[in-house]
Amino acid sequence: METLQEKEQSTAMPRIGDAAPEFKAVTTQGDIDFPEDYAGNWVILFSHPADFTPVCTSEFITFAHLEDKFNKANCKLVGLSIDGLYSHIAWLRTIKEKIEFNGMKNIDVKFPLIEDISMEIAKKYGMVQPNESKTQAVRAVFFIDPKGIIRAIIYYPLSLGRNFDEIYRALIAMQTADAFNVATPADWNPGDDVIVSPAGSCGVAKERMDSNNEDLDCKDWFFCTKKMDKATVLDKILKKQ
Ligand code: BEZ
């Protein structure tokens, strides 16, 4: 029977705004001390149910194909799959040698894949959701900022492969919010108008509606947007090379 401590561990769910739980792990790229080794970078920590499974394989190929794009946005990728190191190595070799997906082939996975056969790390991050599976991690995506704070979490069930455009969009949107002190509306992408923080007092609400500030487009006192062109956003966020 599960002890209370085991139950608490398996149901722990780090939340947005929490410090990313710390762990040391063995990975396909050597040992890591998380999140310490990634201080100053954004990190996407993502989990997979198991090695040698088809949906996971399609996702791994896609993430590896996009790794440079994420790195340019100051973001490192770290994967976790509930399997051992030698299985990970064999899976990544098979991916490179044999698997083509969506036109991507001969893919070298260069980011670390964490060994977590004991499920200790997966449980720490709430990646094992027992009503979905007691032995496999769901497809979790944790966005962790340069200070080690969890900024967004997306969960997918076992049967559903992730949407990588959305993962990248969310990363860029959060970086834009931080860099320009704005928010981003539904379906925002760089080049679209951004949202100016809502008026926090009656005075500011009145001022926004009365002023002729040409930079602001106020539909009403609480809903003001402003233009921000794509180059302004990307120049600030993406590394120059
Ligand atoms: C997959 O990655 O293909 C998969 C993993 C676990 C359950 C179902 C599908």
How far is the C-alpha of 43 from the C-alpha of 39, rounded, in Å? 9
Whether 58 is in the pocket of ligand 1, judged by its Cβ within 6 Å, is no
Any idea what the Cα angle at residue 158 is, between residues 37 and 45, rounded to 5°?
10
The pLDDT value recorded for residue 101 is 98
Percent of the chain surpassing pLDDT 70? 95
> Of all residues in the chain, what percent are helix, strand and coil, respectively (each to 5)?
35, 25, 40
Find the mean pLDDT for residues 197-202: 84
Q: Which of 117, 116, 127, 113 is nearest to 9 (CA)?
A: 127
Whether 157 is in the pocket of ligand 1, judged by its Cβ within 6 Å, is no
Summarised one tens digit per residue, pLDDT across range 149-189 is: 999 999 999 999 999 999 999 999 999 999 999 999 999 99
Mean of per-residue pLDDT scores for the chain: 94
Q: 182, 194 in Cβ contact below 8 A?
A: yes
The pLDDT value recorded for residue 116 is 97
Residue with the bigger pLDDT between 58 and 199: it is 58
How far is the C-alpha of 151 from the C-alpha of 219, rounded, in Å? 29
Q: Return the structure tokens found at 4.
A: 């209370």
The pLDDT value recorded for residue 204 is 85
Q: Which of 161, 139, 116, 145 is nearest to 44 (CA)?
A: 145
Find the mean pLDDT for residues 32-49: 98
R_g of the chain, CA atoms, integer Å: 21
How far is the C-alpha of 110 from the C-alpha of 91, rounded, in Å? 13
Whether 10 is in the pocket of ligand 1, judged by its Cβ within 6 Å, is no
The pLDDT value recorded for residue 10 is 54
How far is the C-alpha of 145 from the C-alpha of 121, rounded, in Å? 19
Query: pLDDT class for 9, splitting at 50, 70, 90?
Result: low
Mutate to test the pocket of ligand 1, among 87, 159, 160 (most ligand atoms within 8 A of CB): 159
Type of residue numbered 163: N
Find the mean pLDDT for residues 1-25: 80
Mutate to test the pocket of ligand 1, among 53, 60, 101 (most ligand atoms within 8 A of CB): 53
Find the mean pLDDT for residues 14-33: 98
Find the mean pLDDT for residues 142-152: 98
Q: Is this model's pTM higher than 0.85 or not? A: yes
139 Cα: distance to centroid of ligand 1 (angstroms)? 10
Q: Count other Cβ atoms within 10 Å, centred on residue 12.
A: 13
Phi, psi angles (nearest 5°) of residue 23: -160, 160
- The residues annotated with a catalytic role in the active site are 56
Q: Which of 108, 115, 112, 105 is nearest to 137 (CA)?
A: 115
Burial track 149-183 (b if 16+ CB lie within 10 A, e otherwise): ebbbbbbbebeeebebeebbbbbbbbbbbeebebe
Can the peptide bond before residue 54 be classed as cis, meaning omega within 30 degrees of 0?
A: no
What residues form DSSP beta bridges with 150?
Answer: 144
Whether 54 is in the pocket of ligand 1, judged by its Cβ within 6 Å, is yes
